[in-house]
Structure formats: structure tokens, C-alpha cells
């Protein structure tokens, strides 16, 4: 029998995890306390077959001193993991699913789903491994049991029947198994005491590593890898979560007492083995515990009890994980396993599947090759529990308030590192392989974009990272080198200004932030319901158009006041809008309030873009044919215009459009110098452009003629003096009347192309 994996597999009867379909109700009345529900299953799992069949080999090879070191290090890792487990278990109302429930509610649906699948399969296969272990001992003890696989299948069927009847009956059976284990230990210590001698103890203090079948030698690491799975039964109590009266108290107390009690047993056994058996006997006699015992038949009974308890635990634990996984609808095809039977919602469909899988593995026979994967599944689960607790602590999530006070981010991190180290120590190839399998399942769930119905750690981690980054940005983002477009586009959710939102998206996509603004005219008190409904409309508009944007809705007495409210209040810290995107007013009567708002916007230190579109396509997501024309009149507006043109061209829809950097001079003598200046500007700005210079005393006609067939043209403007708003309106109308699409730019000078 390969004993590479310990059980960690006593169950939790599932509580209701917002089931869908025909999932049965779960009764609120839990049944088991700390001793029966946590201490007993943990102790039975830890005091397993390795104690009876492999511990003498560990002591004989490593020597007593190093065997105790191996025990101490193993217990330290499991204690650290238990501290994290206790914190997780006391921070939420623990329901069915054990490790799957705790991890999914902390690290999210992707981690939880991956752990759930792997842990279910590991425990289902563990049933077969423990049944085969029992059968090996049974065949050696009972001479007439000649058909190994038939005996194993019969044993598996009995285990299945016990679990199918219900958890309550099986838990009661555990007390008898625990009594048998205690009796076998008493038999060992009573037999070892008269054989004990200090001379023998001193002989076995140091290491004496045996030669392996491959010709090499055993070493400290191989002995550690052989022993460590014996102490990994700490999840047995947590897996009982759904059946406990008070999980938040029972899990920490029962698990820690079990670790302490089993540590004393293992330490005492190591001392007695070293003092009562020769080194040769420790190496060669795998049942040295039985050879030393006062009543050897009790050791045989102990081996039977250890293997049967682990098989029962796996047969109970695996279905409950599958049931909890199915109820969370992460994998819709597993929905049939969400249903429960009887008043305690026994997962009988999942029990049948576990029985079928374990029977197939028994028939296949060779479990030695997959046993390391079982151990890796347990270790990944424990490491992930530590990782979840570590992140819960460092994110400072207000909802993280465990009543268990003895866990710290340092202990959780040390536990995670310890678990990863043990995995590599046991078998680095299996460690990498199992991690790759976990990563594959995680990616599969991530690609499906399963939405959890519970809050998880990813939100808290994102919030904390965002908070810290915002504080850093407050110090750095204002430098011209770090300038990015944070645009407030006044398009609302209206279809007739849809192009404004789309151009805002193009100018910011992958480079900045887009806010979609809408103003509801009227008093706030009278418009609260309207604000809420329009926020929903705007959010739906953003989702429908697949925009990377945030909605902003305010109520104000007038449109201009609403724009001023939005420009001041939108965003957070350094991420407040630095640029306002407006549509061109369609009438001269709107020019005066527009210009008044523009003066306020400039005084507030914001750039301004006014979109004047004479042609709007039915599908504004289709980039129009033609060039991107930037009409240069100086750095005041020119640097922002050229940068926006460059950002526009970064979009896939615009990447084949050429940027033309153009200027008009009144004197032909300045032609070459201006052209050279534009080329130097393009080199300094590292933007690919085609430069063109025109000589004319009528700039308007040149702009209309040259940009008539452009995809879009960028024109700078200056704020008009008071009383000249109508003149400004007509001059802009005339200049752009032949151009299909124009962006009028007013910069406050916070963009530097050389940065």
C-alpha cells in the first residue's frame, strides 16, 4: 500500500449555499460538537497507516533526534495552517463544503472552483487507496482471502453503504474506531516498556540511512517526504463544518487539541521505538510496531481501523464538496449533484459517483503512480487557505473580523511558504504538474467569467491596491510626462450624441479614463427618482456600447451649471477629469451660455474639446475614411491636438489613417523654415506624421479645401472676449462648414510633447 497521502477528508454536511434548481433544504439543527465533529476525525486521520507501517522506518533511517526534528517541523507547518484555517472559519458563517467553501468565499470563485474540483477527485481516489491498504492487511491476516480485488470491492461497497445510510451513523462508528486505535497504542507502549534500554536509545540517536532499490541512499528529505502526509489531517474537522453545532469554536479548538495530542503520541512512539528495537529491525520490519506490541493482534486491528476510518472519511468528504460545488453553479453540468436527500440533505447522488470512481480505481489497481497527486492536492489546499488568510489580513478589509485572534499575516505567509516548500520537497515534478492543473482549471473558470453571488477577497485586494495607487498618483500624475486624457464626455445616454461617447472612448481607450456625463435640469429634491433612473439608463448605455467608461449624472438648475458641477465633482483625487468633451451648439442663441461655461472650465484648469460633426454615420463605430488633420498654429493648443491625434490612431479602427501636421503661413519666404520646424517637432514628439505647409492669406478657405475629405480635423481656438460670442460662433461655423468632422481644441498648456 502506498501511504503518501493522509485523509484530511472527514466531511461536512452542506448548509444551503443559495442553491438553484431542486436543491433540498438543509435543516438548521447541527448535530456534532467539538469532540465528535472535529477532534475525533482529525485524530483518526493523523494517527493513520503511516504511524503503523512507516514510522519505524523513519526513526531507523533518520535517527531519533532527526525524527523528532521532522515531527517538529511538520507540526509547525500544520499549526500555522490551522491558525489560518481557524481565522477563516471564525470570520464567516461556515457552511457545507469545508475547504472549498472557505477558499471560494475568500479568494473567489476561480480559486474555489479549482480547489473544489481537485480536492473532490483527490478524496474520491483516496477512498480506493485506503480500501486497498485495508485489503493488503486483511489478505495477510486472513489466509482464505485469496482474491485481492474481490475483497477490495466488497470492502468499498461496505464503506459506501455505511456512508449512504447517513453521516450520523458513521460518526458514531468513529468512536469505536477511536477506541480501537487507543487500545492498539496501549498495546504498543506496554510491549515497548520492558524492551526499552538507554543503550539501545543511544545507538539509535543518530541517522543510519539505508540503500534504496535504485542504488542510492535515503536521506533526511526522503524521510521527511515519507512522514509528512501523516500529519495533514487538519482539514478533517473543517470538512465537518455543515454538521457542527458551533463551527467557529469547534474547528479551532478541536483541530489544535488534535495536533497537540497526536504530536505527543508521535514523539512518545519515536522515543519508544528507538529504545526498544535494533536499527536493523527498524529498517527491515515494516510492522515493527506489531513486533514490539504486547498484543500484536491489537496492532492489526489498529491498522484495520486506521485504513477504514480514512476510507469512510474520504467517502463522506468528497460528495459534500461536490454537492457544495454544484450548488454554487460554477459548472452547470454538475447541477444534478446539488440535490440532497432526507432531512439532512445527504448528497447521495454525489456519494454514488464517488463510489463509482473509487471502484474504477480499485479495478485499475495501480494507485502508486497517482498517490503523489493526492498529497499535492491536500498541500495546495492548505497553502491556499494560508494565502487567503494572508491576503484577507493585508487588504485590511473591514469585513475581515475573525474571532480567532492568534492568526497574523506573518504566520499565514509562513504557512503558505511552508506548504509550497513541502510540495517541492516531496516531489518537485508532481508539485509543478499539480500546480499547472490547478492553474488550468482556474483559467477555464476565469474565461467563463462566472459571477459569484458572494463577496470575495479579490474585491478587497483590488480596493486596497487602488487606494494605495491613488495616493501615489496624487504625487506623480500631474507631471507633464505622466499626463493622460481623463475625459468627461457630455453625451448622456442619448442616441443622437452617441458619437461623443464613442470618440471619448477612442481618445482614452487603453491610455486614460472616460466619464460619461448627463445633466438633468431642475432641483435635486424634485429629481432624485429621475437621477437614479438615468444612472441606470446611462450604465446600460455604457454596457450596450461596450465602453470603458463611468457614468456621472447630476441635477442642476441649468445645463451650464450642471456641467460646472460635473467638472468639479467627477473623479477622485488625481483622477478627476482634465478634459471636457462637448457637442457643438446648433444655434447662435446657445453660444453665449456655452462660452460662459468655457471660461469657467478654463479657470478650473481643464482642457476643452468641442465636437462639431456635420456628418454622423449610422454606425459611429466605423472610422471614416481619410486623413487625421492637425492644423498647427502654435504650442498653446497644438501639443494637445497632436497628442490626441496620436491617441486616436492607436485604436484598431484608426490605425490605417495617416496624421497630417499642417500649417498656413502668409509669406512664402517662411515656407521652408516652417516645414523644417514641423519636421523637428514630429521627431521630438516621436509621432509619425506627414508635414504640409500652405501659403495663403485666407486660412479658412485652405482649411476647408484641404480637410474636406479628411476623416477628422483638429483645430485650435481661443476663448472669445465678452460680447463677441456670436462672432465666435459664426467664425467657427464658417471655418468648419465643409469639413465632415471637426474637433475644436482649447488647451490649458499642461501637455508637453517632448516629455
Q: Which CATH number covers residue 554? A: 3.40.50
8 Å CB contact between 661 and 678: yes
Length of the chain, in residues:
755
* C-alpha distance across the termini of the chain, in Å: 69
Same domain? 552 vs 653: no
In the numeric block, which cell numbers belong to residue 585? Answer: 451648439
Domain presence at residue 531: yes
**Which residues, other chains included, contact 367 with Cβ-Cβ below 8 Å and sequence gap of 6+?**
2, 125, 128, 129, 132, 361
Same domain? 445 vs 303: yes
Domain presence at residue 674: yes
Exposure of 255 by Cβ count < 10 A (0-12 exposed, 13-18 middle, 19+ buried)? buried
Q: What is the predicted pLDDT for the residue at 187?
A: 94
Domain presence at residue 360: yes
- Comparing C-alpha atoms, which of 199, 287, 281 is closest to residue 1? 287
Domain presence at residue 605: no
Same domain? 506 vs 451: no
Instruction: Give me the DSSP letters along 340-404.
Output: -BTTTTB-HHHHHHHHHHHHHHHHH---TTTHHHHHHHHHHHHHHHHHHHHHHHHTT-TT---S-
DSSP state of 607: E
Report the alpha-carbon distance of residue 256 to residue 438 in Å, rounded: 29
In the numeric block, which cell numbers belong to residue 433? Answer: 504538474
In the numeric block, which cell numbers belong to residue 435? Answer: 500546480
CATH number, domain at 733?
3.40.50.620
Domain presence at residue 293: yes
- Among 457, 486, 521, give the residue marking a domain's end: 457
Angle between helices 109-141 and 409-448 (to 10 degrees): 100
8 Å CB contact between 310 and 49: yes
Q: What is the predicted pLDDT for the residue at 331?
A: 82
- Among 428, 457, 486, give the residue marking a domain's end: 457
Same domain? 570 vs 631: no
- Comparing C-alpha atoms, which of 228, 235, 232 is closest to residue 86? 235
Q: What is the predicted pLDDT for the residue at 474?
A: 65
pTM: 0.63
**Three-class DSSP category at 610:** strand
Alpha carbon separation from 744 to 133, 398, 631 (Å, rounded): 81, 47, 10
In the numeric block, which cell numbers belong to residue 716? Answer: 485650435
8 Å CB contact between 391 and 461: yes
**Three-class DSSP category at 489:** strand
Q: Which range marks the domain in which residue 122 is found?
A: 34-457
Task: Tell me the per-residue pLDDT of 196-218, one tens digit each, with 9 for 90 and over.
Answer: 999 999 999 988 888 877 777 88
CATH number, domain at 293?
1.20.1740.10
- Among 457, 485, 502, give the residue marking a domain's end: 457
Q: What is the predicted pLDDT for the residue at 145?
A: 60
H-assigned helices in 96-203: 99-107, 109-141, 148-165, 167-195, 198-203
Domain presence at residue 27: no
- Comparing C-alpha atoms, which of 448, 452, 486, 449 is closest to residue 470? 486
8 Å CB contact between 192 and 290: no
Domain presence at residue 8: no
Same domain? 523 vs 645: no
The dihedral through the CA atoms of 304, 308, 309, 314 has a sign that is positive
Same domain? 573 vs 643: no
Q: What is the predicted pLDDT for the residue at 728?
A: 87
Q: What is the predicted pLDDT for the residue at 476?
A: 60
8 Å CB contact between 714 and 507: no
Q: What is the predicted pLDDT for the residue at 284?
A: 86
Kind of pairing, strands 579-583 and 741-746? Answer: unpaired
Alpha carbon separation from 155 to 124, 129, 165, 495, 691 (Å, rounded): 15, 12, 16, 70, 86
Q: What is the predicted pLDDT for the residue at 227?
A: 86
Report the alpha-carbon distance of residue 569 to residue 349 in Å, rounded: 56
Report the alpha-carbon distance of residue 224 to residue 61 in Å, rounded: 11
In the numeric block, which cell numbers belong to residue 10? Answer: 472527514
Same domain? 434 vs 526: no
8 Å CB contact between 121 and 383: no
Q: What is the predicted pLDDT for the residue at 607?
A: 92
Same domain? 574 vs 618: no
In the numeric block, which cell numbers belong to residue 307? Answer: 485504513
The dihedral through the CA atoms of 375, 322, 46, 231 has a sign that is positive
**Three-class DSSP category at 733:** helix
Report the alpha-carbon distance of residue 730 to residue 726 in Å, rounded: 6
Same domain? 109 vs 43: yes
Same domain? 482 vs 453: no
Instruction: Give me the DSSP letters along 501-521.
Output: HHHHHHHHTTTSEEEEEEEEE
Count up the domains in the chain and report the number: 3
Same domain? 404 vs 488: no
Q: What is the predicted pLDDT for the residue at 581?
A: 92
Report the alpha-carbon distance of residue 325 to residue 111 in Å, rounded: 12
Same domain? 573 vs 632: no
Q: pLDDT averaged over consecutive 10-residue blocks of the chain (755 residues)?
A: 37 34 40 82 84 88 93 93 87 69 72 81 83 80 75 90 75 83 93 92 90 79 83 76 75 92 95 93 87 91 85 83 83 82 79 92 70 77 85 71 85 92 86 86 75 53 66 62 81 76 88 87 82 86 86 85 83 81 84 85 90 83 91 88 91 91 88 90 86 90 92 91 86 89 89 72
Q: What is the predicted pLDDT for the residue at 170?
A: 67
Domain presence at residue 594: no
Task: Tell me the per-residue pLDDT of 55-108, one tens digit each, with 9 for 90 and over.
Answer: 899 999 999 999 999 999 999 999 999 999 888 878 776 666 666 777 777 667
Amino acid at each position: 500500500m502506498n501511504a503518501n497521502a493522509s485523509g484530511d477528508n472527514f466531511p461536512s454536511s452542506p448548509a444551503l449555499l443559495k442553491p438553484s434548481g431542486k436543491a433540498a433544504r438543509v435543516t438548521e439543527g447541527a448535530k456534532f460538537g467539538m469532540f465528535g465533529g472535529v477532534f475525533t476525525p482529525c485524530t483518526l486521520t493523523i494517527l493513520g497507516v503511516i504511524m503503523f507501517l512507516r514510522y519505524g522506518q523513519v526513526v531507523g533511517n533518520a535517527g531519533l533526534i532527526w525524527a523528532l526534528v521532522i515531527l517538529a517541523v511538520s507540526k509547525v507547518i500544520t499549526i500555522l495552517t490551522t491558525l489560518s484555517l481557524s481565522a477563516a472559519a471564525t470570520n464567516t458563517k461556515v457552511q457545507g463544503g469545508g475547504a472549498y467553501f472557505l477558499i471560494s468565499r475568500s479568494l473567489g470563485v476561480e480559486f474555489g472552483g479549482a480547489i473544489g474540483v481537485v480536492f473532490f477527485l483527490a478524496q474520491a481516489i483516496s477512498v480506493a487507496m485506503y480500501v486497498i491498504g485495508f485489503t493488503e492487511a486483511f489478505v495477510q491476516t486472513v489466509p482464505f482471502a485469496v482474491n485481492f480485488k474481490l475483497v477490495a470491492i466488497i470492502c468499498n461497497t461496505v464503506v459506501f453503504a455505511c456512508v449512504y445510510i447517513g453521516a450520523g451513523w458513521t460518526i458514531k462508528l468513529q468512536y469505536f474506531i477511536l477506541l480501537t486505535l487507543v487500545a492498539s497504542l496501549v498495546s504498543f507502549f506496554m510491549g515497548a516498556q520492558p524492551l526499552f534500554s538507554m543503550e539501545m536509545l543511544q545507538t539509535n540517536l543518530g541517522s543510519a540511512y539505508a540503500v534504496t532499490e535504485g542504488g542510492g541512499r535515503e536521506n533526511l528529505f526522503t524521510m521527511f517526504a515519507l512522514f509528512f502526509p501523516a500529519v495533514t489531517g487538519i482539514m478533517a474537522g473543517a470538512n465537518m463544518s455543515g454538521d457542527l453545532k458551533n463551527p467557529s469554536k469547534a474547528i479551532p479548538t478541536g483541530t489544535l487539541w488534535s495536533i497537540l495530542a497526536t504530536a505527543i503520541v508521535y514523539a512518545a512512539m519515536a522515543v519508544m521505538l528507538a529504545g526498544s528495537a535494533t536499527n536493523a529491525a527498524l529498517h527491515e520490519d515494516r510492522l515493527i510496531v506489531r513486533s514490539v506490541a504486547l498484543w500484536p493482534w491489537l496492532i492489526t486491528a489498529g491498522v484495520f481501523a486506521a485504513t477504514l476510518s480514512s476510507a469512510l472519511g474520504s467517502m463522506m468528504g468528497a460528495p459534500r464538496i461536490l454537492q457544495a460545488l454544484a450548488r454554487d453553479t460554477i459548472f452547470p453540468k454538475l447541477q444534478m449533484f446539488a440535490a440532497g436527500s432526507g432531512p439532512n440533505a445527504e448528497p447521495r447522488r454525489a456519494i454514488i459517483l464517488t463510489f463509482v470512481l473509487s471502484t474504477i480505481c480499485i479495478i485499475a489497481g495501480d494507485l502508486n503512480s497517482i498517490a503523489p497527486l493526492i498529497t499535492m492536492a491536500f498541500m495546495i489546499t492548505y497553502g491556499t487557505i494560508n494565502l487567503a488568510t494572508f491576503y484577507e489580513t493585508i487588504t485590511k478589509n473591514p469585513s475581515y473580523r475573525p474571532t480567532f485572534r492568534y492568526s497574523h499575516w506573518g504566520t499565514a505567509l509562513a504557512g503558505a511558504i511552508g506548504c509550497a516548500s513541502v510540495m517541492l520537497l516531496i516531489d518537485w515534478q508532481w508539485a509543478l504538474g499539480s500546480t499547472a492543473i490547478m492553474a488550468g482549471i482556474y483559467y477555464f473558470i476565469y474565461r467563463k467569467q462566472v459571477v459569484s453571488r458572494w463577496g470575495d477577497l479579490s474585491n478587497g485586494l483590488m480596493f486596497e491596491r487602488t487606494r494605495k495607487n491613488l495616493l501615489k498618483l496624487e504625487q506623480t500624475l500631474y507631471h507633464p510626462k505622466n499626463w493622460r486624457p481623463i475625459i468627461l464626455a457630455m453625451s448622456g445616454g442619448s442616441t443622437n450624441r452617441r458619437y461623443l461617447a464613442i470618440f471619448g472612448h477612442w481618445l482614452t481607450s487603453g491610455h486614460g479614463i472616460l466619464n460619461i456625463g448627463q445633466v438633468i435640469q431642475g432641483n435635486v429634491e424634485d429629481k432624485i427618482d429621475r437621477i437614479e433612473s438615468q444612472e441606470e439608463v446611462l450604465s446600460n448605455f455604457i454596457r450596450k456600447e461596450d465602453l470603458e467608461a463611468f457614468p456621472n449624472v447630476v441635477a442642476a438648475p441649468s445645463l451650464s451649471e450642471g456641467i460646472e458641477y460635473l467638472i468639479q465633482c467627477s473623479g477622485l483625487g488625481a483622477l478627476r477629469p482634465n478634459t471636457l468633451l462637448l457637442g457643438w451648439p446648433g444655434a447662435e442663441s446657445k453660444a453665449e451660455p456655452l462660452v460662459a461655461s468655457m471660461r469657467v472650465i478654463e479657470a478650473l484648469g481643464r482642457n476643452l474639446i468641442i465636437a462639431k460633426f456635420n456628418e454622423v454615420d449610422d454606425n459611429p463605430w466605423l472610422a471614416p475614411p481619410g486623413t487625421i488633420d492637425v492644423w498647427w498654429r502654435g504650442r498653446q493648443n497644438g501639443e494637445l491636438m497632436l497628442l490626441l491625434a496620436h491617441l486616436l490612431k492607436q485604436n484598431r479602427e484608426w490605425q490605417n489613417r495617416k496624421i497630417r501636421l499642417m500649417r498656413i503661413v502668409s509669406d512664402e519666404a517662411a515656407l521652408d523654415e516652417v516645414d523644417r520646424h514641423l519636421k523637428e517637432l514630429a521627431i521630438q514628439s516621436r509621432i509619425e506624421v506627414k508635414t504640409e505647409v500652405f501659403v495663403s492669406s485666407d486660412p479658412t478657405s485652405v482649411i476647408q479645401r484641404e480637410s474636406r475629405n479628411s476623416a477628422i480635423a483638429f483645430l485650435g481656438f481661443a476663448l472669445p472676449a465678452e460680447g463677441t460670442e456670436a462672432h465666435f460662433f459664426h467664425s467657427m461655423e464658417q471655418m468648419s462648414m465643409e469639413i465632415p468632422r471637426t474637433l475644436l481644441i482649447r488647451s490649458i498648456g499642461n501637455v508637453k510633447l517632448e516629455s
